[in-house]
Amino acid sequence: MRLTGSIHLIGGGVWGGLGLSPGPDCNVYLVECGDGSAVMIDTGSGLPGSVDAIAGHVEEAGFRPEDIRAILLTHMHGDHAGGALRFAEMTGAEVHASELTARVLATGDEETSSVALARTAGVFPSDFKLLPVAGMNSIAEGDRLEFGDASFDVYETPGHCAGHLSFLLSASGRRDMIAGDVVFWRGRVLMQATPDCDPAALAASLAKLAGLGQVDGLFSGHGAFVLSGANRHLDEAASHARQLRIPPGV
Ligand SMILES: [Zn+2]
């Protein structure tokens, strides 16, 4: 489903998604690079039905798996990173993530990633596994990834979990924030009873994203997205945090 001149939605399952894939998948985005290639943002859960559905939406968007030249992960949770191995194998693309996410994925660490907790809580099926991914590229704040006409400025945005990244995409004359699970439509947030969920870190992340100048779209890891006027939504979240309040939950 095309959302802007360069962004497609290609996955999103039972957790606040739009039903584009059947599993416990985050919103999965595909970004056109203007040269026939594309970048995938997050991968969904990696469960077989989800992988097939997402791969089908890549084709509907006009791309072959091998056209995907990079996979960017916002964070290490299983609904975002669970499909990293499957899509890395399918596309041959390099997987980029924070140093912590890369380290956790390298061993499939289900404790640090909270996959074990989420499985117990019923977020994932009992046989769900975080599949290890070797050879990921570690990226950090200040990095700019350029692919064709699309560039991604990397911001470290912990709070929802440790090692979380957000990407400011410049493409098609727009500036779009791809925010993972740090902030959502109407300034909502997603705080969970996990060891690395950190309200103070979240407040700093929200202030950072609200201070990036004009942003057109807000494309988060679950639920609705914002096509224009994203600053209003980012400011709403940051204004709660400035008053030491946790913004309302999604
Ligand atoms: Zn998450």
In the reported structure, the alpha carbon of residue 69 is separated from the centroid of ligand 1 by a whole-number distance in angstroms of: 24
What confidence score (pLDDT) does residue 17 get?
78
**Could you tell me the distance, in angstroms and rounded to a whole number, from the CA of residue 229 to the centre of ligand 1?**
24
- CA of 105 relative to ligand 1 center, distance in Å: 14
Gap from CA of 160 to ligand 1 centroid (Å)? 7
pLDDT at 26 (0 to 100): 97
Residue 68 Cα, ligand 1 centroid: separation in angstroms? 23
Q: Which pLDDT score is estimated for 94?
A: 97
**C-alpha span between 87 and 181 (Å, rounded):** 21
Q: Which residues of the chain have pLDDT under 70?
A: none
Classify domain 7-242 by CATH architecture: 4-Layer Sandwich (3.60)
Contacts of 105 (CB under 8 A, 6+ apart): 73, 76, 81, 84, 95, 97, 113, 130, 132, 133, 136
Tell me how far the alpha carbon of residue 36 lies from the centroid of ligand 1, in angstroms: 30
Q: What are the boundaries of each domain within the chain?
A: 7-242
3-class state of residue 250 by DSSP:
coil
Residue 234's pLDDT is 98
pLDDT of 89 reads: 98
Q: Note the pLDDT of residue 18.
A: 87
Query: Which residues have a Cβ under 8 Å from the Cβ of 42 and sit 6 or more positions away?
Result: 26, 27, 28, 29, 72, 73, 74, 80, 81, 180, 221
What's residue 115's pLDDT?
Answer: 97
Tell me the CA–centroid distance for residue 142 and ligand 1, in Å. 22
- pLDDT of 25 reads 96
Question: 165 C-alpha vs ligand 1 centroid, how far in Å?
Answer: 11
Ion ligand 1 neighbours, Cβ < 5 Å: 77, 181
Angstrom distance (rounded) from CA 187 to CA 200? 16
What local confidence, expressed as pLDDT, does residue 51 receive?
97
